[in-house]
């Protein structure tokens, strides 16, 4: 039989090689067609008496990324449609569709013939669950081979047998760690856990897989044999008694109850290990269907799976522009930001010229890359050869003439308009007329900076976040005269260095910083009200934020917050900044010299390692403290999230961001806005705009005009709209046509 997505070849010894190689795709993924074909292949192999066993592998450089996002989108969309008509019918549909993969994999492992998975590259999600259903698993001995069940990161969990097979192959503690964190495994780690059978040289992968069958691999899984014992011991045992209570406590500590999928994993494993395997699969499916119906899963799937992939593929890139193949990038300024930009550029294999005022400064910038690679080598994530290759791509210089031939210049000098003007003029004197010039600025409007350029059409903002090597988001900021070519080149660069781009129109603070400043500002207000600092920071973490607002202020520098406030007063007048908040920051910086982590003291004290940071005890002396029992911790959590969400809504209302995908993904990647919500706008959509507006009004009555809902939200509430209906991301205006 002929298949579209697979080929089946049987050798003289009766061993079938099933090769997954989807046409017109760079990576194999599970689609409905692929699943149907796989189901048929299992039937054909089972029925063919000439076939003694089968090896499953990939015809591409990687094995598979798991489920196709369009299949997942279609499933959730159809469920939503059916739910509006008949909830029971919708749930039945979800049970049937969600359970299809699990049924096919169970058919494979009970077919009576041995199957071996030959894993030659990335093997994620459902693809790894397929491999676990095979009777043997061989992984290529290569850094390119990564295996994981990462579903929990998008609000769901492995629902095709993953929660049942992993703890039957590995000890329970390791299984829970892997499942609840989405941990990625290299071949050696996977083998040590018992999840793969062999590691083979890449060119001998299929041969080793076939040899397992020829050497008598049983066509029966361990858990289907009589007398099977769990690697980690029974649930009701001394080992189980020592594992399960702390496992549950740790999960609650790490998630604050915000991620239903994590608790569902624990329940699936716990209950599943008490019963026969087929019953365990039904338990897993029950919880999977339950989780698929949660708001958290819907929002996380949309933002962290679907939207993230779409943005990474250039969903907002102007049409009709040729893709840029970069031959050389210029970076102006070898300070911390510029050095970081040079590092990620070289890491992407692109030659980079790093310019500073003198060679000492430029060499110091290159040394930053060397230190980063050295850190990777210590962790076993890079080699001396990798280091040599990366450093060979960075050319430090004090001569602007070395910028000749650059496709793109990224200016990353000190945040001062005059300094930026000077380096722009010097660079434009030597670069080609069609080269693109980008400014990495976090506060200065791009339209104003573009006035320093002789070609404002080719001038654009590329706002990186610190530290550049770790932060995955980049804001691309459009000036009033920025044209399509500059947008396309900027996006191509951001994608080339494996960051996620969002397109933002020009305004003070752009998008991310406007939201972050609101988050910090609300914390300052709370301190002034007398809410104890530990309650503010803990409430933020309970709300799902990775870093409390006071800790975040320390990281970005308290004196920077002071500079921003003072500059805002100079630009917009005294009413633009709350005088009580300015007084707080002035007191911190001017009276107590507490500038943040950079000088070892801010809202926190930073002792020498290994001691951990702790909140400065003096904070409680700045304002009269409320008793903890007089503070509504739920309201504190709401204030911190709502103030950010309101600012995101204002940004959409003003046309600064026009695509809700960018607002949501940007808020999560830039400052960790409670990922379980799906992002700042999905937080509103998830609870319903009408409910959110009511909450905002309640907070406004108690805490002032900062919580006033913009007219956009009022209008959406009246019409029963969501952001993804009002601002349809699949019919958005091209970037260059947005209102500036």
User: pLDDT (tens digit, 9 = 90+) per residue, 65-86?
Assistant: 998 877 877 888 888 889 889 9
Please give the Cα distance from 718 to 696 (Å, whole number): 15
Neighbours of 725 (CB within 10 A): 12
Residue 16 half-sphere exposure, CB side, CA atoms within 13 Å?
24
pLDDT of residue 735: 62
Whole-Å CA distances, 466 to 26, 130, 472, 474: 32, 39, 10, 10
pLDDT of residue 737: 47
Which of 445, 471, 470, 449 is closest to 458 using CA atoms?
Answer: 449
731 band by pLDDT with thresholds 50, 70 and 90: confident
Find the angle CA(101)-CA(104)-CA(106) to the nearest 5 degrees: 110
Residue 9 in 3-state DSSP? strand
Residues of the chain with pLDDT > 90: what percent? 89
Q: What is the pLDDT of residues 671-692, one digit of tens each?
A: 999 999 999 999 999 999 999 9
For residue 135, indicate whether it is catalytic.
Answer: no
Please give the Cα distance from 476 to 463 (Å, whole number): 6
Which of 219, 216, 220, 195 is closest to 138 using CA atoms?
Answer: 195
Return the sign of the alpha-carbon dihedral for residues 67, 70, 73, 78. negative
Q: What is the rounded average pLDDT of the residues 722-740?
A: 73
pLDDT of residue 560: 87
pLDDT of residue 140: 97
Q: What is the pLDDT of residues 164-199, one digit of tens each?
A: 999 999 999 999 999 999 999 999 999 999 999 999
pLDDT of residue 673: 96
pLDDT of residue 76: 82
The residue among 733 and 571 whose pLDDT is bigger is 571
Q: Please name the residues in contact with 46: beta carbons below 8 A apart, sequence gap of 6 or more.
A: 111, 112, 113
pLDDT of residue 456: 94
Return the sign of the alpha-carbon dihedral for residues 193, 196, 197, 200. negative
Which of 108, 138, 323, 103 is closest to 213 using CA atoms?
Answer: 138
Q: What is the pLDDT of residues 147-170, one digit of tens each?
A: 999 999 999 999 999 999 999 999
pLDDT of residue 386: 94
Evaluate whether 166 touches 179 at the Cβ level (below 8 Å): yes
Strand partners for 504:
477
Instruction: Flag the least confident range among 63-77, 127-141, 254-268, 719-733.
Output: 63-77
Residue 339 half-sphere exposure, CB side, CA atoms within 13 Å?
17
Q: What is the pLDDT of residues 90-123, one digit of tens each?
A: 999 999 999 999 999 999 999 999 999 999 999 9
Neighbours of 267 (CB within 10 A): 17
Instruction: Flag the least confident range among 192-206, 210-224, 540-554, 558-572.
Output: 558-572
Q: Does the pLDDT at position 710 exceed 50?
A: yes
Residue 109 half-sphere exposure, CB side, CA atoms within 13 Å?
26
For the chain, list the domains and their CATH numbers. Answer: 6-293 (3.90.226.10), 329-507 (3.40.50.720), 513-730 (1.10.1040.50)
Whole-Å CA distances, 85 to 81, 91, 295, 443, 498: 7, 12, 19, 49, 42
Evaluate whether 35 touches 107 at the Cβ level (below 8 Å): no
Q: Which of 135, 368, 463, 592 is catalytic?
A: 463
pLDDT of residue 739: 41
CA gyration radius, the chain: 28
Residue 726 in 3-state DSSP? helix
Find the angle CA(507)-CA(510)-CA(515) to the nearest 5 degrees: 125
Tokens representing 646 are 């309101």
What per-residue string of b and e applies to 115-153 under the rule 16 or more CB within 10 Å gives b?
A: bbbbbbbbbbbbbbbbbbbbbbbbbbbbeebbbbbbbbb
610: preceding bond cis by omega (within 30 degrees): yes
Please give the Cα distance from 298 to 680 (Å, whole number): 14
Which of 306, 302, 114, 132 is closest to 215 using CA atoms?
Answer: 114
Please give the Cα distance from 398 to 453 (Å, whole number): 21
Q: Does the pLDDT at position 491 exceed 80?
A: yes
Diameter of the chain measured on Cα atoms: 86
Q: What is the pLDDT of residues 360-392, one digit of tens each?
A: 999 999 999 999 999 999 988 899 999 999 999
Q: What is the rounded average pLDDT of the residues 22-45?
A: 94
734 band by pLDDT with thresholds 50, 70 and 90: low
Evaluate whether 387 touches 370 at the Cβ level (below 8 Å): yes
pLDDT of residue 736: 52
Evaluate whether 465 touches 473 at the Cβ level (below 8 Å): yes
Evaluate whether 318 touches 350 at the Cβ level (below 8 Å): no
What per-residue string of b and e applies to 657-670 under the rule 16 or more CB within 10 Å gives b?
A: bbbbbbbbbbbbbb
pLDDT of residue 732: 60
């Amino acid at each position: 039989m002929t298949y579209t997505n697979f080929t089946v070849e049987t050798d003289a010894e009766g061993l079938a090689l099933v090769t997954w190689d989807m046409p017109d795709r760079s990576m194999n993924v599970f689609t409905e067609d692929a699943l149907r074909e796989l189901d048929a292949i299992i039937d054909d192999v089972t029925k063919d008496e000439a076939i003694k066993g089968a090896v499953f592998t990939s015809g591409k450089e990687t094995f598979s990324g798991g489920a196709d996002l369009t299949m997942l989108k279609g499933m959730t969309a159809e469920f939503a449609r059916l739910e509006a008509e008949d909830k029971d019918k919708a749930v039945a549909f979800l049970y049937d569709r969600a359970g299809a993969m699990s049924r096919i994999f169970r058919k494979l492992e009970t077919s009576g013939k041995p199957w071996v998975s030959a894993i030659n590259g990335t093997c994620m999600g459902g693809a790894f669950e397929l491999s676990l259903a095979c009777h043997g698993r061989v992984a290529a001995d290569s850094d390119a081979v990564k295996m994981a069940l990462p579903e929990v990161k998008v609000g769901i969990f492995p629902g095709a047998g993953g929660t049942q097979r992993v703890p039957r192959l590995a000890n329970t503690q390791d299984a829970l760690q892997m499942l609840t964190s989405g941990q990625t495994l290299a071949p050696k780690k996977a083998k040590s856990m018992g999840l793969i059978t062999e590691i083979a040289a890449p060119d001998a992968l299929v041969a080793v897989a076939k040899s397992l069958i020829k050497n008598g691999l049983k066509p029966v899984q361990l858990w289907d044999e009589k007398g099977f014992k769990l690697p980690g011991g029974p649930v009701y045992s001394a080992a189980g008694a020592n594992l399960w209570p702390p496992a549950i406590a740790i999960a609650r500590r790490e998630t604050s109850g915000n991620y239903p999928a994590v608790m569902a994993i624990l329940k699936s494993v716990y209950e599943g290990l008490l019963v026969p395997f087929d019953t365990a699969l039904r338990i897993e499916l029950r919880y999977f269907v339950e989780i698929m119906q949660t708001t958290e899963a819907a929002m996380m799937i949309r933002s962290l799976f679907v939207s993230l992939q779409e943005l990474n593929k250039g969903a907002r890139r102007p049409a009709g522009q040729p893709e840029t193949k970069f031959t050389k990038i210029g970076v102006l300024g070898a300070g911390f930001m510029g050095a970081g930009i040079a590092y990620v550029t070289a890491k992407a294999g692109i030659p980079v010229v790093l310019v500073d005022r003198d060679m000492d400064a430029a060499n110091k910038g290159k040394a930053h890359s060397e230190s980063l690679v050295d850190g990777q080598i210590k962790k076993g994530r890079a080699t001396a050869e990798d280091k040599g290759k990366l450093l060979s791509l960075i050319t430090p210089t004090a001569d602007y003439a070395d910028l000749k031939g650059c496709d793109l210049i990224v200016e990353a000098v000190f945040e001062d308009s005059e300094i930026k003007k000077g380096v722009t003029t010097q660079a434009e004197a030597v670069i080609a007329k069609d080269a693109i010039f980008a400014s990495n600025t976090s506060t200065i409007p791009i339209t104003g900076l573009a006035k320093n350029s002789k070609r404002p059409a080719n001038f654009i903002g590329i706002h990186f976040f610190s530290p550049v090597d770790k932060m995955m988001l980049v804001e691309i900021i459009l000036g009033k005269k920025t044209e399509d070519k500059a947008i396309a080149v900027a996006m191509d660069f951001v994608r080339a260095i494996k960051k996620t781009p969002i397109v933002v129109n020009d305004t003070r603070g752009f998008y991310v910083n406007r939201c972050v400043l609101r988050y910090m500002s609300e914390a300052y207000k709370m301190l002034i009200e007398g809410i104890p600092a530990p309650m503010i920071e803990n409430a933020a973490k309970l709300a799902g934020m990775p870093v409390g607002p006071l800790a975040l202020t320390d990281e970005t520098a308290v004196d920077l917050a002071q500079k921003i406030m003072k500059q805002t007063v100079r630009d917009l007048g005294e009413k633009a900044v709350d005088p009580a908040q300015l007084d707080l920051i002035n007191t911190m910086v001017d009276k107590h010299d507490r500038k943040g982590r950079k000088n070892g003291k801010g809202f926190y004290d930073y002792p020498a390692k290994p001691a951990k940071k702790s909140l400065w005890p003096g904070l409680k002396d700045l304002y009269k403290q409320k008793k903890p029992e007089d503070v509504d911790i739920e309201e504190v959590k709401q204030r911190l999230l709502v103030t950010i969400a309101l600012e995101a809504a204002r940004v959409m209302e003003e046309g600064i961001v026009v695509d809700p995908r960018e607002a949501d993904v940007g808020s999560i990647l830039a400052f960790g806005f409670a990922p379980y919500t799906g992002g700042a706008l999905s937080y509103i959509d998830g609870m319903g705009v009408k409910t959110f507006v009511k909450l905002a009004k309640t907070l406004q009555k108690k805490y002032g005009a900062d919580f006033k809902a913009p007219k956009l939200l009022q209008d959406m509430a009246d019409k029963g709209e969501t952001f993804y209906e009002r601002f349809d991301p699949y019919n958005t205006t091209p970037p260059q046509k947005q209102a500036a």
